[in-house]
Structure 1
């Protein structure tokens, strides 16, 4: 072994030791990052479960119905019509819509009501549907067809479906189209408990966490460590 190689040997040892230290630091930092992120995710899921349980147990207070909604509740029919709009719906269309709803496997009702342009009407678009369905109290689907062609869908004891058929144009044919769509709706029961949180963690399991830690250490910590060693080495060479 030459004198030069003997002199360079301690330098190589220090370099190897330095890189080994860098690898160790990268692994430790990666593991700490994965662990911290996992803890954060578990805390977030716990808070999410608490929020879902709070929302699930909450019940909305439905105000007492006004005159227009009470007139709907007074009608013993699957198609309830605002008395002020009775002349707009042909009787044949009303009977046909009622016959369709009567054959529906899931209870379904339609109300034809004046659209509330202001709060002076005594109800809102969502409030009227809730008051009417709550007043009837029968499990099933309820659709309010407004005189301007819009609609509002709610349900009692079931998941709410949304009307997809066209409801503008003549109210009689629109009433029949809505009835035909509602007759095809299924009874999707409401959940009896909040949905369970997703069991998969942020890293996709223990193996994913280890892989993430390795990638973080390899592509982030080690390059930073190499840059630091280069900077310190260049400073030392300038001083010497």
Structure 2
């Protein structure tokens, strides 16, 4: 049996030394030591905080503290309202843009007309007394027999047809084929259907000075282009145009969408649908970004 030496008289009592087990995170005493004094409890809490910082990281620990502070719900509500306002603004902008686009497509006469080009003046000078104009740069592409057949069919058609044959060009001074066809019709003063034919390219058409059943020619011939194939295709289109009901005069309003009311309705539908699509895409993007941030 071991005997401890007696303490000297007058010696001060020293508290037991504390040993911290950092793996378990719980302070323990050496065998035979008394309880941990209260003044050493903050040290244990400090070790626990250090462990949390090492395990979670400072940023995630800060975010966790913010969520538990009670300001989270209010901030979430503000963020939701802000996103709702942004979504409504995006929808409104897209709706207005869609309505403007529909109005532009349906009512080209409302927009200011571009200046008359020399190309249009040259074609109008010939079409004032004929029904087929061939630009000198493409002279010889169609045979004389093919041009004569087109001339006879276009003159006999009701409403009349006027054919403009020239090469396609981006430097002619106009943006769309319909613009120059309208210029030619205005210069000639002859109402009817005006066709633009560019060898190897799409054919386009426009009613000038008449209002009638819908009729449109657009696109290129099937297969390899040839003057014979193009002539046969044009003769078929002229025959289809012959006999359709029409009235002289051109409505400056929108007939494509069924009048002004139809244009407004179409604009609202196009804009609303575009706004909904933009809102859905925005929500999907926001959800993906939020998921990535949560996983970080």
> Structure 2 length normalisation: TM-score?
0.41
Indicate the structure whose relative CO is greater, using CA pairs within 8 Å and at least 6 residues apart.
1
Task: Flag the structure with larger Rg.
Answer: 2
- Structure showing the higher helix proportion among its residues: 1
